[in-house]
Amino acid sequence: MDIKEMLTHIDHTQLKAFATYEDIKKLCEEALEYNTASVCIPPAYVADVKKDFGDKLKICTVIGFPLGYSTNVTKVFETADAVKNGADEIDMVINIGRFKNGEDEYVADEIKAVRAACRGLILKVIVETCYLNEDEKKRICRIVSESGADYIKTSTGFGTAGATVEDIKLFKENIDEGIKMKAAGGIRTVEALQSFIDLGCERVGASATAEFAKEI
C-alpha cells in the first residue's frame, strides 16, 4: 500500500485543549489536501467546521473525552448536540472506572444509549487500553461487539500510553466479525501507520499526517 492510500485511513486529529480555530482550519485544509478519512476535532468546533467546509470532509468529534467518567445522560446529550451541529462520526470514551468495577452492563448500556443518539452515524468506542489488563481487554471486546458500535478504538492519546501492535492483535482475536478497529495514540511514523493498517485497522487516529505526506 502506498502512502497516498494510507492517508485515506487517517482520522486527522487535533484535540489539544489550547487548539484555536486557526489550528482547526489548518487541520481541515490538510485533510482535504491529503484526502484523509475525516478530521477529528473538539465538539465546540463542529458547527464552525460544518459552516466553513460543508460536506467537503467528514467531521468526527469526541464524547466523554478524554476521561470517560461523565454520566450516560451527559454523553447522550453531548452526542445529540454534536449530531445537530453537523458531526458525521462519534468517538466516545467508555466509563473506565465503572468497567473496572465489573459493571459490564452499565458500560454496555452507555454504548447503546450513545449509539441511539448517533442516529445512524458511525460510532467508535474508545476503551483506553493502557488502563486495562488482558482479561479486561477481552471483556471490553465482547461488550463493544454486542452493543451496536461500528469500531473499537484503542486510546484517547491522553492516557499513559497509546496504541500497540499487541492490543490490535488481541482485538482481532476477540471482536465479532463486522466490528472495525481504530488505532490511536502515539502513531508518529509512516512505519507505525503502515503496521497498524496492515494488521487490519480501518482507521488510524493521527496528528502527524502532514509529516507522513512528505513521504509522497
For the chain, domains (ranges, CATH) are 3-213 (3.20.20.70)
Q: With CA atoms as reference, report the closest residue to 12 among 82, 60, 52.
A: 60
Residue 91 known to be catalytic: yes
CA distances 110 to 95, 101, 115, 125, 147, Å, are: 8, 15, 8, 11, 9
> SS3 for 126?
strand
CA distance 23 to 34: 16
pLDDT tens-place string over residues 78-134 = 999 999 999 999 999 999 999 999 999 999 999 999 999 999 999 999 999 999 999
Average pLDDT on 157-170 reads: 98
Mean pLDDT across the chain? 97
Least confidently predicted of 100-104, 137-141, 212-216: 212-216
Q: Is the pLDDT confidence value at 164 over 80?
A: yes
**Beta strand residue intervals within the chain, DSSP E:** 10-13, 38-41, 59-63, 89-93, 122-126, 151-153, 180-184, 203-206
For 94, half-sphere exposure in the C-beta direction (CA atoms, 13 angstrom radius) is 37
> Annotated catalytic residue: which of 11, 91, 150, 167?
91
> Annotated catalytic residue: which of 88, 124, 153, 167?
153
Q: Is the pLDDT confidence value at 36 over 70?
A: yes
Average pLDDT on 16-32 reads: 98
Residue 153 known to be catalytic: yes
CA distances 191 to 10, 74, 140, 152, 211, Å, are: 14, 38, 28, 22, 12
With bands split at pLDDT 50, 70 and 90, how would you rate the model's confidence at 202? very high
Instruction: Tell me what pLDDT residue 216 has.
Output: 66
